[in-house]
Each structure stands twice: as C-alpha cells, then as structure tokens.
Structure 1
Amino acid sequence: MGAMDPLASLPAEIKSLIAMDMLNSDPPEHTKRRKRLAPAFTGRKIATLRPLVSGIVDEIIDALDGRRDVDLVEMYASQVSVRVLAEIVGIAAQDLENVRSWSDTFVKELLVVSDSLLDATRSLLGYCYELVARKRAAPGDDLVSQLVSSFDTADQAADDELASTVFILLIAGQTATAQLIAKALALLLTHPTQLEMLRAEPALISSAVEEVLRVSPPLSISGFRLTTEPVTIAGTTIPAGEIVICSLDDANRDETRFVAPGEFDVRREDNQHLSFGHGIHRCLGVHLARLEAEIAIGELIGRFPDARLAIHSDQLTWVERGIMRTLEALPVHLRCPTSVPVSAAAGQ
C-alpha cells in the first residue's frame, strides 16, 4: 500500500494474514471467502440462535441480580459477546479471557502499533491456527469446524485463509459487539426520557438499536480502501494509490440525510446508517449483532428498572484511538432510590 499504509509497521507475517481477510480483499478472493461464511450468518440461521443468546443473557443477569454496583462493560456487555461467540465459534471456556483481552488490545492499538498490539496480534493469530488445527483433528458442531470442512485440502494456504477468517470473526464478534451493547446502555442511561419510552414500549427495541448504531457506532471509521485511479469527490481529487478512510460518525450525522441528526431518538424510522458498511463489504454479522444487542439491552433494562449511572456522565472514560471509540467502563447502580445527574452529551 505504500508509505501511508496504516499497517506498514506490522511484521510481514502479521500484515499478510490481516490483508487477506474479507475486509481487505476484493473479488474474486473476497467472493470466495464470503461464500464460505455466508450460510452461517443468514437472517434465518441467526434467528435460531435466539434461545441460546437469551439463555446466556439470563445467566449473566442472574449473576448480577444480587449486586448493587456493577461495571456493565466488564461484567455484562463483554461477557455477553464473548460467551455467545464462544458457543458459535467453538472456543473452550478457559480460553475466553485471553481471546477477549487480545481482541480488545488489537482494536484499541491498531493505528498506534505498540508493543502490546504486536504481542496481542501474535497471540491471537497463534490461537487461530491452534483452533483450526484442533477442529480439524476433532470437529464439532461449530462454525470453525464447518469452515475447516469446506476446504478440500489441508495445506498451509488453507490454514492461512482459515486463520485469517477466524481472526476477523473473533475481533468483530467480541469487541465490536460488546461496545455496541455498552454504548447502547450508556446512551439510554444518559437519555432517561428515551429510556422510559423504550421501557414503556418494548417493541421499539429494534429501532432503538439502529439509532444507537447511527449515533455511536461500534467502529468509528470504515475499512481501509485504496484508490486504483484518480477519484474526485466534492471538488477534491484523490490521486491513485492513496489510502481512503471514511468517518462513520460523520456519515451517520449527515444533515442532508437525517432529520435532527444530533438527536438520539429511539423512534427514528428513516435510519439508513452506514455502521455496518455498504455493498459487498457490508458486515456479514449484522443479524447476529442486532440479535445480541436487542436481547441484552431489552432484558437488562427490563430486569433493573431503577438502574442509574453511578458517576456523572462527564466522568465516563472513552479511549479515542485505534479504529473505534471505546467505552472503558460503565459503572451503574442497579438499584438505588435517587439518580445521579446525567448529561445528554454522553456517548455522542
């Protein structure tokens, strides 16, 4: 990609594997790789996972039920996403914490290229190769086993493609989904009128999740794209061979596209945001992300009607680097007689 390559500082073996995933490939390679995964992520297939997701959410909420003060990032959103992912992909319980830690570090440090990023990336890629080998030796009823079986041969090229695919699945299915749930809860807790509206009308949960995706998307930027020829946009010409990164935050608040784009409105109907991408690179996991978010948010606000932020909204900690704006913690009183003042600006 040249000197402006965002991955230029990564070791060659890491960069090459990341570059071959679906996000960074074009047809015909992209078409072939997406075709292997697509059957597992259809709307009909994901709908069958509702009992599984609901059961996991209920277990986690039951564990929180006796507590007064919790961090909903660490103890809820992250737990929901990693446990659902583990069931689908086929990850052993003892591996969950490492997978979560490596994935979170990758997302936060990708554009920084720190020592912790290199260590986490090597560890996660190594784990992906080990998982592929494990499922080839002892296949189960999980997604990685299905992917392994879709290859006619077991060679290094197949292993590289499989490891690259599993790598992106683990990151997108864990950290991005956890942040979607956490940001949704932060927005609702800092917009009490919208929260009460959703509690009064649970059927609004779908439009509420879409509004969260618009206002505070899991990823702040699009995937990296490279111009193959000069492109002129709004009077500015981008030469061939340049990296192009689009701001999802700005696109989702386009005043020419959305009415009152700065407002958080769980009733918003015309909401064609770009948080899942567009075209052939539209996120394959859209149905799963929506299902997890709708169940996790709906169940929590239903079980704890008095939940309030334990700190002022201005004290929430956000990490503004990498490829996503990350909410570090969401301290909440699950049961309390009075509320802490909140600000409608939190989470935006």
Structure 2
Amino acid sequence: MSVIELGEYGADFTVHPYPYYAKLREAGPVHEVRMPDGFQFWLVVGHEEGRAALADPRLAKSPHVIGVRAPEEDIIGVHLLSADAPDHTRLRRLVTGEFTGRRVAALRPRIERLTADLVDAMEPAGRADLVDALAYPLPITVICELLGVPAADRDTFRRWSTELVTPTGEEDFTRSMVDFGAYLDALIEDKRAAGPADDLLSGLIASRAEDGDRLSGPELRAMAYLLLIAGHETTVNLIANTVRNLLTHPDQLAALRADPGLLDGTIEESLRYDGPVETSTFRFTREPVALGGTEIPAGQYVLVAIGALDRDPARFPEPDRFDIRRDTRGHLAFGHGIHYCLGAPLARLEGRIALRTLLDRFPNLELDPEGEPWEWIPGLLMRGVRHLPVRW
C-alpha cells in the first residue's frame, strides 16, 4: 500500500474535506498518510473500523507506549485525553463525581439568560459575525463560570486557547501552554485559600473518592486545562456549524421553523453532517492491530477521521445530504468508548438553546452577502469557520 500525500490535496482539503475522505474510503477504510512536513500516520476513514478503533485498548492514548513523551506533559500534566486505563478510569471517576448531569441541567436558566442577553446586544445592528457575537462568548462564559474563572481573564484565555488548538508556531504554542499552566496553578491556589465554593473547580479540589483518593495539584491543573479547552472550542463550532448548515440548506431551515420539534434532530444531524471535531486526537499502537484488512504495526500513530466516519454510506444512506429528520443514531461526533466526550450533554444543551433563541428572535436570519469570505480553521482537528457573517 502506497503512502497518501495529504499535501497534494492542497487548501481545498481544509474547505471541502469530505470528497477526499470519500475517495480514500472507496480505496479502503485505513490508509497510511503523510503530511506536508513529512509526518506519517495511519488514517481511519471507515465507520465500522473507526468505531472499533476508538474503543480498542490496543490503541493507547498515552504516547509513552511508543517511547514518546508528549510535549505538554511536563507543562500541563496528564489528563483524560492522554491517559489509559487504569489511570484514565481513576481520573474519570473523580471528575464525573462533580461534573454530573444534575450540575449541567442546573445551568439551563443561566445559559438561557446569557443567550438572550447576547442576542439582545446583536439585534439593533441587523447584522453580526455570529462567531464573535454568540457562538464564542456563550460557551466561554458558561465553561468559565462553571469552573470559576474570573470574567476579566477570559480575553487572555481566548488567545491561549486559539493558539493551543490551532498553533501558529512551536514557540508561540509553548509560550501559551506555559502561561496557561501557570495561570491555572495560581487559580487553583486561590480557590484552595478561599475554601469551599459552588463552582466545578472548587468541587474538584475538595472531591474525594470513597477510598480517600483525590486529584493531585498537577492532575487538577491538567483537568482544568482539558475542561476549559474542550469545553468551549468544540461548542463554538457546534453552534456556528449548525447555523451555517441550516442557512445553506433553506429547505431544512424551513422545516425546522415549521416544526420546532425537529430541534434535537437538527443538532444531531449537524453533528453528523459537519461536526465541530474533524478528527480524534492521536492514538498509538501498543502491538500490531488489524483494521479493515490492514495491519498497522506496533509503535505507530493512528488518527480516526470522525468527519469521514459520519459520512460513510455503509452507515448513513446518502451521507452527503443534510436531513434534520434523519435517524442519526450511531454518529461518532462525541467519540466512542471510554474517551466518549464528558461534556456532550452540556454542548448539546448550549447548542439547542442558542439555535432556538436565534430562530425565535430572527425570523429572517440569513447569511450576510456583504460579509467577508469564510476563513476555515486550519489543521485536521477542528472543523469550522473563524467568522460567520449573518443578517436579519
């Protein structure tokens, strides 16, 4: 099997990745690929094979199994996305004891109020960049309030987060991570000194398992880092992508306006059709692993293309059709297995509230024809646009 040169796809691969994934899938569900910088890994593009890979313990999340140390480990520490069982089991048990469904459900009135306030601020102008006006400030405010991050620090946090998710260079990436890690250490110490409080980070500091186990300082820092980054970057794109998908499919927008009961289905179909996470983070083969008739040797990097999996016609008929009435069960936008997204209920709640509020307040919401062309987020990890000009 020859190595696929992803660089040959050019910039169009960032804008329109799905036709390229379809061509790869037609040739087989698993391929060895190479990035323009020469980095090679294995890319999984078939739904059945990808779902299996996401839950296969032979595909580790810790790079230690192949003798590599993650660059952020010394700065941030080990978190849920870089740990395997039994360490992952322990960390997840400690955080899920605090990040409960009840805590998420209790956020609904606050999310509704924040959304209403943001839309109030948007309304007089008649047009806005949906990302800057709503899709970004809503989830960042929610996750920061949930964790107890002061409002004054959120603009700085946005700069760090943007650099860490879509790096512009190794030096800036490392500096952002160091600054973010130092900030989180100081925040944790402030909360320890302040004593018990209602926010999630204070709860994690105080939380103990039945056997007395608790998160260490580095583990708290790593957990806060993961929750803050994953807790808002993905939801920004969930909201913006869903609105973009509806505005570019007016028949589906009309169907939703005619039947608000299709709201949940709209969110799920958007997650499947053009979700916020294009690929998983890397996995590493502990031993040779056979996937879809291809044997991946031990010590290899493996990336599961979630966007490709959810467009697999073997799982979803007519996968390139956006259909809010579709049965979307089995989509993998939030992952699968022990690393299934901890924040999925919160992301869905924010997405539903944001979309319902927008459509209720702006009956003639549409893309702004005078807006700047879309700038797509670079890289393979995140799927979305930097700005989404709309008008009403």
TM range (shorter): 0.7 to 0.9
Q: State the partner residue of 2:170.
A: 114
- Name the CA shift for 1:147/1:121 in 2 (closer, same or farther; >3 Å): same
- Name the CA shift for 1:135/1:312 in 2 (closer, same or farther; >3 Å): same
**1:22-33 counterparts in 2 under 5 A?**
22-33=80-91
Q: State the partner residue of 1:257.
A: 315
Report the CA distance between 1:316 and its aligned residue. Answer: 1.7
Post-superposition Cα deviations, 1:249-292, rounded to whole Å, max 9, x if no partner, equal 11011110001111111111243111111111101111000000
3-state secondary structure, aligned to 2:216:
helix
The reply to whether residue 330 of structure 1 matches residue 388 of structure 2 is yes
C-alpha distance in structure 2 between counterparts of 1:238 and 1:11, whole Å: 21
Give the total of aligned pairs. Answer: 325
For the 8 Å contact 1:17–1:160, the answer to whether it is kept is: no
Q: State the partner residue of 1:145.
A: 202
TM-score, length basis structure 2: 0.78
C-alpha distance in structure 2 between counterparts of 1:105 and 1:319, whole Å: 12
- Name the CA shift for 1:269/1:235 in 2 (closer, same or farther; >3 Å): closer
The reply to whether residue 192 of structure 1 matches residue 284 of structure 2 is no
For the 8 Å contact 1:17–1:164, the answer to whether it is kept is: no
For the 8 Å contact 1:77–1:182, the answer to whether it is kept is: yes
C-alpha distance in structure 1 between counterparts of 2:63 and 2:84, whole Å: 18
TM-score, length basis structure 1: 0.87
Report the CA distance between 1:55 and its aligned residue. Answer: 0.9
Report the CA distance between 1:18 and its aligned residue. Answer: 5.2
Give the counterpart letter for 1:142 in structure 2: D
Q: State the partner residue of 1:284.
A: 342
3-state secondary structure, aligned to 2:387:
coil
- Name the CA shift for 1:242/1:13 in 2 (closer, same or farther; >3 Å): closer
Q: State the partner residue of 2:124.
A: 66
C-alpha distance in structure 2 between counterparts of 1:248 and 1:138, whole Å: 42
Q: State the partner residue of 2:187.
A: 131
For the 8 Å contact 1:220–1:248, the answer to whether it is kept is: yes
C-alpha distance in structure 1 between counterparts of 2:286 and 2:242, whole Å: 38
3-state secondary structure, aligned to 1:332:
strand
C-alpha distance in structure 2 between counterparts of 1:18 and 1:176, whole Å: 20
Report the CA distance between 1:119 and its aligned residue. Answer: 2.2
The reply to whether residue 294 of structure 1 matches residue 352 of structure 2 is yes
Q: State the partner residue of 1:201.
A: 259
The reply to whether residue 234 of structure 1 matches residue 292 of structure 2 is yes
Q: State the partner residue of 1:100.
A: 158
For the 8 Å contact 1:211–1:271, the answer to whether it is kept is: no
**1:261-280 counterparts in 2 under 5 A?**
261-280=319-338
Consecutive unaligned residues of structure 2, counting only runs of 5 or more, are: 1-38, 42-61, 210-214
C-alpha distance in structure 2 between counterparts of 1:233 and 1:259, whole Å: 23
3-state secondary structure, aligned to 1:60:
helix
Give the counterpart letter for 1:138 in structure 2: A
3-state secondary structure, aligned to 1:321:
coil
3-state secondary structure, aligned to 2:384:
strand
C-alpha distance in structure 2 between counterparts of 1:312 and 1:190, whole Å: 16
- Name the CA shift for 1:240/1:18 in 2 (closer, same or farther; >3 Å): farther
Q: State the partner residue of 1:303.
A: 361
Report the CA distance between 1:41 and its aligned residue. Answer: 3.5
Consecutive unaligned residues of structure 1, counting only runs of 5 or more, are: 335-348
Q: Runs ≥4 in structure 1, deviation > 6 angstroms?
A: 3-8, 10-13
3-state secondary structure, aligned to 1:146:
helix
Give the counterpart letter for 1:223 in structure 2: T
For the 8 Å contact 2:272–2:310, the answer to whether it is kept is: yes
The reply to whether residue 218 of structure 1 matches residue 283 of structure 2 is no
C-alpha distance in structure 1 between counterparts of 2:361 and 2:265, whole Å: 20
Of 244, 256, 268 in structure 1, the residue corresponding to residue 302 of structure 2 is: 244
Post-superposition Cα deviations, 1:308-340, rounded to whole Å, max 9, x if no partner, equal 111389932212315212311001112xxxxxx
3-state secondary structure, aligned to 2:272:
helix
Give the counterpart letter for 2:104 in structure 1: I
The reply to whether residue 161 of structure 1 matches residue 219 of structure 2 is yes
C-alpha distance in structure 2 between counterparts of 1:95 and 1:256, whole Å: 46
Report the CA distance between 1:301 and its aligned residue. Answer: 1.4
Report the CA distance between 1:135 and its aligned residue. Answer: 1.0
Q: State the partner residue of 2:22.
A: none
What RMSD, in angstroms, separates the aligned Cα atoms of the two structures?
2.5
For the 8 Å contact 1:71–1:330, the answer to whether it is kept is: yes
Of 28, 39, 55 in structure 1, the residue corresponding to residue 97 of structure 2 is: 39
| Percent identical | 38
The reply to whether residue 176 of structure 1 matches residue 234 of structure 2 is yes
Give the counterpart letter for 1:116 in structure 2: D
C-alpha distance in structure 1 between counterparts of 2:120 and 2:207, whole Å: 39
Report the CA distance between 1:141 and its aligned residue. Answer: 1.0
Post-superposition Cα deviations, 1:212-257, rounded to whole Å, max 9, x if no partner, equal 1111121111121111110111221111111111001110111100
Report the CA distance between 1:15 and its aligned residue. Answer: 3.1
Give the counterpart letter for 1:251 in structure 2: L
Give the counterpart letter for 1:49 in structure 2: L
Report the CA distance between 1:40 and its aligned residue. Answer: 3.5
For the 8 Å contact 2:98–2:207, the answer to whether it is kept is: no
C-alpha distance in structure 1 between counterparts of 2:205 and 2:77, whole Å: 20
Report the CA distance between 1:181 and its aligned residue. Answer: 0.6
